[in-house]
Amino acid sequence: MVALGLLILRLVIGLTVAGHGAQKLFGWWGGPGMNGWVGAMNRMRIRPAVPWAWVSALAELLGGLGLAIGLLTPLPSLAIAGSMLVAIALVHWPRGFWATKGGYEFNLSILAGIAAIALTGPGAYSLDAAFGIHLPEPLTLIAGTILLLIGVAVALGTRAPEQLAETKPQTT
């Protein structure tokens, strides 16, 4: 039953995140497509916007698909975690917890699910199990998490400064 539970968790989270990546890359299901996603990255002040837009969209698409099929499972989990952490930091955190107000509830749920999968493994119904792939643990997760946090810090650190509000002379 554990293997079945992990399969369900991987499929739901993986395909949901992959769908978000497809929205960004291809404009599917009402998504922005790459032109729109680059524009969103510009509005979030991520610099340079084009490569970071590709990194984030591919992390969601390929990370989601990799998680769904259970291939090299810690790596897709880390890719998804990077996207979720940046989304929380730039978009959802200021809006509070609840998704109904644009908060980080959804992103946090995704993070919890992928952390559980990364820590437990993908289960018996995965390509990792079928091919006998076992990345060295906990080294893969520790090194991957350090690299992930560095990448998130770089992405957030490359943001352009906020435009200073134009000051208008006060009239009396």
Contact of 6 with 69, CB cutoff 8 Å: no
Which residues have CB under 8 Å from 136's CB, separation 6+?
A: none
Angle between helices 33-43 and 49-69 (to 10 degrees): 120
Residue 165: per-residue pLDDT: 41
Q: Where are the chain's structural domains?
A: 2-8+33-157
Instruction: Please give the structure tokens belonging to residue 129.
Output: 């199990």
The pLDDT of residue 82 is 96
Residue 163 has what pLDDT?
Answer: 74
Q: Are 127 and 70 in contact (CB under 8 A)?
A: yes
pLDDT by residue for the chain (172 residues), tens digit each?
999 999 999 999 999 999 999 999 999 999 999 999 999 999 999 999 999 999 999 999 999 999 999 999 999 999 999 999 999 999 999 999 999 999 999 999 999 999 999 999 999 999 999 999 999 889 999 999 999 999 999 999 999 888 744 444 555 5
| pLDDT score of 65 | 98
What pLDDT is attached to residue 137?
Answer: 87
> H/E/C letters for each residue in 44-108?
CCCCCHHHHHHHHHHHHHHHHHHHHHCCCCHHHHHHHHHHHHHHHHHHHHHHCCCHHHCCCHHHH
